[in-house]
Amino acid sequence: MDDGRSFTVRFSLDDLMLFSAASQDRNPCHVSPGYARRTPYGQLLVNGILAAFAGLSGIAPRSGCTLSRVNLEYRLAMFLDIDYTVILAKQSPRTTCMKLCDGSKILMKGEFSFAEGGLVEVPWGEPPESILQIPADRDVREFTEGAITRGEYLPDQTAWRALLDRFEISERAFGGLQLSVLLWSSYLVGMVQPGLRSMSHKFTFAFENPERCRTARLSYEAKVISLNAFGSLRSEVRLFSGTQSVGKGESRAFVMPRNRLGSVSAVEALLPRSDQMKGSVALVIGASRGLGAMLTAALALQGCTVLANFDRSELEAHRLRESLAQAPGRIVLAKGDAAELAWCEELAARVSREFGRLDFLICNACPSLLPLRLEPAMVKRINSYVGDALRLVSVPISVFSGLLAENSGRGVVISSIFVETTPKELPHYVAVKCAVEGLVRVAALQYPDVNFLLVRPSKLQTDLTNGPSSALFGQGEGMLHEVAAARFVQRLQSGAKEQLEVFIP
């Protein structure tokens, strides 16, 4: 029985792939690691309906009843390979409530209601040709009040049955048509409306006489109710099986803004190109995206030779180098994990051999950032984050400080204004930035011939502020990367004033 029942669920990559095949939701935030890295979350997301299926797996069948209404609310993102807790409780004899939790944080809530009715076998039919293979990437101006999107839908039958087997869900307990509708809701948001840049946050649906339906192939209408200033899209949805109404409800999804790419021309407008840093050699750790890319651009525009380190963002790194092909300086790509001692030592030997000097080491890289709480369910992730982020500073400083000392160079670490403002959602990030600042202070004592600079940018406009969690960090607020990079390089050009400095761009 589902009275007061709780159990643990963990989603795997195989689960995501199976769900994608069954639902036909091929949104890359769920299935493409490369794409997911460029989202505000930095990793693959678990589909909300996949989590709902995990909840259904714990609900006991009700004799003579099928699913009549669902109400789902997705509060926070869910990820792979994390042990989540599903809590089920009967609200009434025919309604079960579900919560999916990460420690004390509720990530998802669901309400499943049942009514009298039996399982009706309906033929699947041929898959409609209108099923999208690539998610729509629609302009938000299309989502005007009253605009209607129509289409047809049918899950993949083989994958659909494998998905039910994976979660031990009985078609007889919930109704095959009803389960297909849940899969459709994921397809609608992830592939059609909004499509590519979407994030579900609510879905409600009431079924109308599903026993009268004679085909599993569905046709749908999604009518825009509103799109507010925060990117929340409300749509009224209706489904039909042939001419028979299946039911109606409402879908709400967040439309994420397009990622803002840094502009080399904007950096140049702030810091016109020159030969002022000609002959200097810099190593930028984490140079392919965001602030690191704009720092690399600013240095190259001033004539510096820049070793641009990246690990996985190869496409972005090559694009950055191409965009600076005519700069006074030069970009040399350095692919590798800067947290690995052996890789850094090999690069140090290369720098010494090919360039004979290192004038600037800039430690900018940091793992993707998500809110966490100091509690048992999350402490392992907090410790892992701190360790991973700290290595991206401690290893390069340990390896390259000797080279910097040979030429009275500068060791630079990008810290954060959060060491002072301390947002409560980011214990791991605050801990890392405090730790690296302490490490730099000790490095300044151990390497007196190196001038160290701690950079504490104020809030920046990053991918993190480009999604549903942006309210935690200030949606749309913060300094542009180009502005921070220009100010930072101007500070480097002015020369060292002290052996250890703190600079706020």
What is the mean pLDDT of the segment spanning 366-382? 93
CA–CA separation, 204 and 276 (whole Å): 61
CA distances (Å), 123 to each of 154, 176, 454, in order? 11, 11, 66
CA–CA separation, 401 and 396 (whole Å): 8
Which range among 4-18, 32-46, 109-123 shows the weakest confidence by mean pLDDT? 109-123
pLDDT at 448: 96
As to burial, measured by CB atoms within 10 angstroms (0-12 exposed, 13-18 middle, 19+ buried), residue 373 is middle
CB-hemisphere CA count at 13 Å for 23? 31
Cβ atoms < 10 Å from Cβ of 330: 15
Cβ atoms < 10 Å from Cβ of 472: 15
pLDDT at 471: 45
What is the mean pLDDT of the segment spanning 285-290? 92
pLDDT at 467: 52
pLDDT at 468: 53
Q: Is the dihedral of CA 233, 234, 236, 240 positive or negative?
A: positive
pLDDT at 260: 67
- 117 sits in the region (left: phi over 0; alpha: psi -120 to 50; else beta) called left
- Model confidence over 99-109: pLDDT tens digits? 999 999 999 99
Helical H runs in 243-289?
A: 264-270
pLDDT at 165: 95
Per-residue pLDDT at 308 exceeds 70: yes
Helical H runs in 324-375?
A: 341-354
CA–CA separation, 46 and 79 (whole Å): 5
CA–CA separation, 303 and 279 (whole Å): 7
Tokens of residue 240, six digits:
């039909």
Chain-centre distance for alpha carbon 220? 29
Per-residue pLDDT at 474 exceeds 50: no
What is the mean pLDDT of the segment spanning 267-285? 96
pLDDT at 472: 46
Range from 50-59, 166-175, 453-462 that averages highest in pLDDT: 50-59
Per-residue pLDDT at 190 exceeds 80: yes
CB-hemisphere CA count at 13 Å for 184? 32
pLDDT at 435: 96
- Evaluate the omega torsion of the peptide bond into residue 194 and state whether it is cis, within 30 degrees of 0: yes
Calculate what percentage of the chain has a pLDDT beyond 90. Answer: 73
CA distances (Å), 468 to each of 45, 316, 459, in order? 13, 24, 17
Per-residue pLDDT at 3 exceeds 60: no
Which of the four CATH numbers 3.40.50.2300, 3.20.20.140, 3.40.930.10, 3.10.129.10 does domain 5-125+141-255 have?
Answer: 3.10.129.10
- Model confidence over 218-253: pLDDT tens digits? 999 999 999 998 889 999 999 998 888 999 999 999
182 close to 48: Cβ distance less than 8 angstroms: no
Our separate counts of H helices and E strands in the chain read: 15, 17
Which range among 57-61, 158-162, 392-396 shows the weakest confidence by mean pLDDT? 57-61
Q: What is the DSSP letter of 190?
A: I
CB-hemisphere CA count at 13 Å for 52? 29
CA–CA separation, 395 and 458 (whole Å): 25
End-to-end CA distance of the chain: 59
Q: What are 363's strand-pairing partners?
A: 285, 413
Which CATH superfamily hosts domain 264-503? NAD(P)-binding Rossmann-like Domain (3.40.50.720)
DSSP string, 3-17: TTEEEEE---HHHHH
Average pLDDT score over the chain = 91
Give which of 305, 280, 281, 308 is closest to 294, Cα–Cα.
308
CA–CA separation, 468 and 75 (whole Å): 9
Task: Order across the sheet with 451-455: list the strands.
Answer: 330-335, 305-310, 281-285, 360-363, 410-414, 451-455, 500-503
Give ∠ CA 484-487-491 in degrees, rounded to 5. 135
CA–CA separation, 210 and 15 (whole Å): 28
CA–CA separation, 267 and 244 (whole Å): 59
Q: How confident is the model at residue 57 (pLDDT cuts 50, 70, 90)?
A: very high
pLDDT at 463: 56
Instruction: Give this prediction's pTM.
Output: 0.88
List all residues 6 or more positions away from 83 whose beta carbon is below 8 Å from its beta carbon.
8, 9, 10, 377
pLDDT at 475: 45
- Domain locations in the chain? 5-125+141-255, 264-503
- 408 sits in the region (left: phi over 0; alpha: psi -120 to 50; else beta) called left
CB-hemisphere CA count at 13 Å for 129? 0
